[in-house]
Amino acid sequence: MENLVKGILLEMGENPNREGLLKTPERVKQMYQYLTKGYQEDPKKLINDAIYEQKYDEMILVKDIEVYSLCEHHMLPFFGKAHVAYIPNGKIIGLSKVPRLVDMFARRLQVQERLTVEIAQVINENLRPKGVAVVIEAQHLCMQMRGVEKQNSVAVTSEMLGCFRTDSKTREEFMDLIRR
């Protein structure tokens, strides 16, 4: 990867041997390894038996989870907030596992739409709840720094499964809670 970064610097018209750029290829390699570490993570291992039997049938919501990811089209960052809710069906997950799952999928080259779906699907598959809802609000540097250059634009995606999809009152309660 370091040689590829040197090649990019040369293509830009830069000198990869000048003082300020000498360690750039190594730093870029380390940065991309960190920003894409989600490829090395497995949701089952991440959850690590943090699923518990519990008689609770109201909505569980973890909101305003910071999201940082890289757009797979331009490899530029997008960032914002994720809101994740589910209604248990006899099982709950440790609360800290929800943001960890968000991070795991965000630390891959992504499109926001797929990221939203992946988070909902992994919770649905592992808990089999009555419903799952995920909303992500994000700003994309590929839209802000290049292309249309709209600095104040925010993309919002959602995935509603189970009762969040079929029951408008449940969906409305979720949307009301994330707006507060």
Q: Which residues are catalytic?
A: 71-74, 112, 140, 142
Tokens representing 137 are 């609000």
- Tell me how far the alpha carbon of residue 116 is from its chain's centroid: 7
Give the residue carrying structure tokens 């994000």: 138
How many C-beta atoms surround the C-beta of residue 153 within 10 A?
A: 12
Is 59:169 a contact under the CB 8 Å cutoff?
no
